[in-house]
């Protein structure tokens, strides 16, 4: 107390850890802590109690309740004396314990922070206190359904204050000629005494709390959750921290299934958004890269989730010197068939989902086989196995499309070949060799005209002539139709010279 006053008057002095802890945990440590006590009897002189946990070898989920109940009754028949049943109970905001025997029963409401283990021990301790008062009887069976308590008891664990108390009391009883056997009984199998003790303990949850000191170990869990709640409150304020959205609730960092070290690194970096692509500029003292279409800073989250270009087919991103690290989105989404789009949509939800899946795959494209496999596994988990199935179907379809393309190209080649041959057949006259006849004194001047007629060039000229004649005819017809109609047919204008010529 004097110390407390000293530190209040000298606030610049850093107070010892004890004071600071006491103040910080004021709201948690509401019940007194049991002081550490050394046994009055030397530990080597403590007689280990008789503990029978033989029923525990029958596992509860492998044996019917009736069998366990019968086994217990068979066992207890071997131990004559008064049977006392103990039990502890714990709800979200209350702890209690109780014991019962044929002539007496007692219930305790206990401090909220107390563990169920301590509550069970207190019930046993209270049973021993009761036994001290019983006259004319010297054999007692304490039946508890807490295997951990009875195991600790048989191991003579004297670090727990209530266990030490039980061992001491038990030894005192032995000295007074009273024999106590501790028996484990299975709970909720219909053993009458155990059912009664269980009901009494549950009833006691609403009873006023008996101020019993707690072993310091019982405070471990409440202190842990209190500190975590403080931490969570502080973290809730940090909404500007980019890591906040990744892990808003403080808990262990969950690991993916079957992920190797490399895969874990890739996943962690993708989650916290640290990558060479987005942070490499820091090492190079350059300006931060940005996404050209969105005009926003380039982050992993932006690439994977926010980028507006994911809603369009082809993305153009300016990465400057880091282009080799840039994700490359092909334009395949733009020319997907309706069928393919439907398949992708049904696998990944919507178009954003498709792009997300795609970008995940692209993200690890250079990270080796294991990372690719990891992403595949991840996508499979997210789509409950649809991802692999979809990938298989898409690959099949791609193969089919390629086959069709090759088929078409082959057909085109064949068509060209046929046309070439047909032309050769249509134009079988070798005019050049015919012209060489002039060397022999033959007149070959007609060949030029003939060739013109045969050659495609000649045909083209003819076609051009025809089309220009058609155009002329059209003009003349317009001219004629634009004229005012005469009153009767004989007054019709005769065809003009040009019309006649055409």
Which residues contact Zn ion (rule: CB under 5 A)? Answer: 291, 294, 307
State in angstroms the smallest separation of the CB of 302 from Zn ion. 6
Least gap, CB of 298 to Zn ion (angstroms):
8
Do residues 153 and 169 lie in contact, with contact meaning Cβ atoms separated by under 8 Å? no
Residue 319: both structure tokens together: 């990465």
Report in angstroms how near the CB of residue 310 gets to Zn ion at its nearest: 8
Can you say whether residue 274 is alpha, beta or left, with left for phi > 0 and alpha for psi between -120 and 50 degrees?
A: beta
Neighbours of 182 (CB within 10 A): 23
Residue 130 · residue 84 · CB < 8 Å: yes
How many residues comprise the chain? Answer: 502
Q: Scanning the structure block, which residue is given the tokens 């310091």? A: 216
Q: How far is the CB of 356 from Zn ion (least distance, A)?
A: 14
Cβ-based nearer residue to Zn ion, 161 or 327:
327
Distance, C-alpha 94 to centroid of its chain = 35
DSSP string for 308-365 = GGGGSS------GGGGGGS----GGGTT--HHHHHHHHHHHSSHHHHHHHHHHHHHTT
- What is the closest distance, in whole angstroms, from the C-beta atom of residue 320 to Zn ion in the complex? 15
Q: Among residues 168 and 359, whose Cβ is nearest to Zn ion?
A: 359
Residue number, 353 or 458, with CB nearest to Zn ion: 353
Considering the complex, state which of residue 287 and residue 489 has its C-beta at the smaller distance from Zn ion: 287
For the bound state, the minimum distance from the C-beta of residue 467 to Zn ion, rounded and expressed in Å, comes to 53
Please report how close the Cβ of residue 402 comes to Zn ion at its closest, in angstroms: 32
Identity of the residue, 68 or 303, whose beta carbon is nearer to Zn ion in the bound complex: 303
Long-range contacts of 260-267 (CB under 8 A, 24+ apart): 260/370, 260/374, 262/367, 262/368, 262/370, 262/371, 263/370, 263/371, 263/373, 263/374, 266/363, 266/364, 266/367, 266/371, 266/374, 267/374, 267/378
Question: Among residues 50 and 351, whose Cβ is nearest to Zn ion?
Answer: 351
Spatial CB neighbours of 219, under 8 Å, sequence gap ≥ 6 = 28, 29, 33, 113
Other CB atoms within a 10 A radius of the CB of residue 114 amount to 26
For the bound state, the minimum distance from the C-beta of residue 333 to Zn ion, rounded and expressed in Å, comes to 16
How is 71-87 classified by DSSP, letter by letter?
HHHHHHHTS-SEEEEEE
Least separation, in Å, of the C-beta of 292 and Zn ion?
8
Nearer to Zn ion, 173 or 291 (CB): 291
- Please provide residue 214's backbone torsions phi and psi, each rounded to the nearest 5 degrees: -100, 145
Between 291 and 333, name the residue whose CB sits nearer to Zn ion: 291
Q: Between 108 and 319, name the residue whose CB sits nearer to Zn ion.
A: 319
CB of 306 to Zn ion, least distance (A): 7
**E strand intervals along 145-297:** 179-184, 290-291, 296-297
Which is nearer to Zn ion, 308 or 459 (by Cβ)? 308
> Please, which residue, 125 or 309, has the CB nearer to Zn ion?
309
Residue 13 CB, nearest approach to Zn ion (Å)? 56
State the Rg of the chain over Cα. Answer: 48
Q: What is the DSSP letter of 100?
A: E
Q: How many CB atoms lie within 10 A of CB 402?
A: 10
Q: How far is CA 421 from the centre of its chain?
A: 65
Burial of 183 (0-12, 13-18, 19+ CB in 10 A): buried
DSSP string covering 31-56 = SPBPPP---SS-GGGSPPPEEE-GGG
- Contact at 8 Å (CB) between 209 and 30? no
């Amino acid at each position: 107390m004097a110390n407390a006053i000293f530190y209040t008057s000298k606030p610049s002095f850093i107070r010892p850890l004890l004071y600071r802890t006491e103040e910080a945990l004021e709201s948690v440590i509401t019940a007194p802590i049991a002081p550490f006590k050394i046994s009055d009897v030397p530990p080597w002189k403590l007689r280990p109690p008789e503990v029978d946990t033989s029923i525990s070898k029958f596992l509860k989920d492998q044996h019917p309740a009736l069998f366990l109940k019968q086994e217990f009754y068979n066992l207890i028949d071997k131990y004559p004396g008064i049977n006392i049943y103990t039990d502890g109970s714990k709800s979200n905001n209350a702890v209690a314990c109780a014991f019962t025997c044929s002539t007496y029963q007692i219930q305790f409401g206990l401090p909220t922070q107390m563990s169920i283990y301590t509550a069970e021990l207190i019930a046993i301790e209270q049973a021993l206190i009761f036994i001290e008062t019983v006259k004319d009887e010297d054999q007692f069976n304490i039946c508890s359904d807490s295997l951990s308590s009875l195991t600790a008891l048989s191991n003579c664990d004297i670090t727990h204050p209530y266990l030490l108390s039980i061992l001491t009391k038990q030894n005192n009883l032995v000295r007074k000629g009273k024999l106590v056997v501790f028996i484990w009984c299975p709970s909720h199998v219909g053993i009458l005494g155990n059912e009664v003790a269980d009901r009494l303990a549950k009833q006691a949850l609403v009873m006023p709390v008996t101020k019993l000191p707690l072993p310091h170990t019982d405070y471990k869990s409440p202190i842990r959750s209190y500190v975590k709640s403080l931490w969570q409150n502080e973290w809730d304020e940090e909404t500007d921290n980019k890591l906040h959205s990744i892990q808003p609730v403080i808990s262990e960092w969950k690991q993916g299934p079957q992920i190797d070290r490399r895969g874990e690194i890739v996943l962690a970096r993708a989650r916290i958004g640290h990558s060479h692509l987005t942070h490499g500029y820091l090492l190079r003292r350059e300006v931060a890269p940005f996404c050209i279409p969105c005009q926003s800073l380039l982050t992993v989250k932006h690439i994977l989730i926010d980028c507006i270009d994911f809603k369009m087919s082809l993305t153009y991103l300016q990465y400057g010197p880091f282009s080799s690290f840039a994700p490359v989105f092909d334009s395949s989404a733009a020319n997907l068939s309706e069928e393919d789009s439907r398949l992708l949509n049904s696998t990944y939800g919507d178009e954003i989902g498709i792009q997300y899946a795609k970008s995940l795959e692209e993200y690890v494209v250079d990270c080796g086989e294991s990372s690719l496999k990891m992403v595949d596994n991840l996508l499979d988990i997210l789509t409950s196995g649809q991802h692999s199935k979809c990938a298989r179907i898409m690959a099949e379809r791609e193969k089919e499309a390629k086959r069709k393309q090759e088929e078409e190209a082959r057909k085109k080649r064949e068509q060209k070949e046929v046309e070439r041959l047909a032309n050769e057949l249509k134009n079988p006259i070798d005019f050049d060799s015919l012209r060489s006849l002039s060397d022999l004194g033959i007149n070959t001047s007609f060949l030029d005209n003939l060739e013109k007629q045969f050659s495609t060039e000649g045909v083209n000229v003819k076609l051009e002539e025809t089309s220009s004649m058609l155009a002329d005819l059209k003009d003349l017809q317009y001219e004629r139709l634009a004229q005012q109609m005469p009153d009767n047919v004989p007054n019709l204008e005769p065809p003009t010279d040009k019309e006649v010529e055409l």
